[in-house]
Amino acid sequence: MGRLSNKVAIVTGASAGIGRATAKLFAAEGAKVVLGARREAELKSLVGEIEAAGGKAVALAGDVRSEAYAKALVALAVEKFGRLDVAFNNAGTIGEAGPSTDVSEGGWNDAIAINLTGSFLGAKHQIAEMLKHGAGSVIFTSTFVGYSCAFPGVAAYAASKSGLIGLTQALAAEFGPKGIRVNSILPGAVETAMYREMNDTPDKQSFITNLHALKRVGSPEEIARSVLYLASDDSSFVSGTASLVDGGLSITRT
């Protein structure tokens, strides 16, 4: 039996990167998966892949900045699969980058809305449903940026993603007595479209690679396995953590 057999999971940002890899792994481990992202065609393609491999999945395209969308994903999970056990709030954006003195108010607000508020709205409705059966695991995707080290030009990204760590701790303390676990992952650099957008030259990629003790960046599949741990009963005594999945970036000075 899979590690998520008989469980129902929501994954946002599922159309690519870490979200896509995690959705496929969850399904392979027995979960019935509800996929969320903005790109409908990519979601439909992923549903097809999961079903072709023998899994079960449904998808709903939308914007995580919308509370109505957060409610709709939970409603879809209950309508199609009867319950909700796991939620991976992974959708995110780099946001407006560049010198902080030039970042617009709109650009700042957009990063906060997607990375932080969107995750809160998701968790708000996910936890409300999980409370009905007294158990659940909520997971956020934060980042090492602004936690282990900082870079110029990404203030909105760093601030919004760092806020998820405080949210993780607050929700874990509030709902732990009712059986809900809440954790966040802090990946190092991962080979995704977002990584390539931030590091668009060989010199930048070499610099980032060398920050890691393993002297390489991670793959979405490697991060997905850490998310699986937090989603599964293997981590039944783990809550409130900011879990580094960073190839040793946080401890490297060479």
- Closest by Cα among 132, 41, 115 to 78: 132
Vertex 62 angle, CA 70 and 162, to 5° = 60
- Going by DSSP bridges, is the β-strand pair 8-12/242-245 parallel, antiparallel, or unpaired? unpaired
Instruction: Tell me if 71 sits within 8 A of 95, measured CB to CB.
Output: no
Q: How far is CA 11 from CA 21, 43, 58, in A?
A: 10, 11, 11
Determine the Cα–Cα distance for residues 65 and 114; give it in Å rounded to an integer.
6
Task: Tell the burial category of 53 from Cβ atoms under 10 Å away from its Cβ (0-12, 13-18, 19+).
Answer: exposed
Neighbours of 48 (CB within 10 A): 12
* Residues 147, 151, 155, 161, Cα dihedral to 10°: -30
Catalytic status, residue 157: yes
Return the active site residues: 157
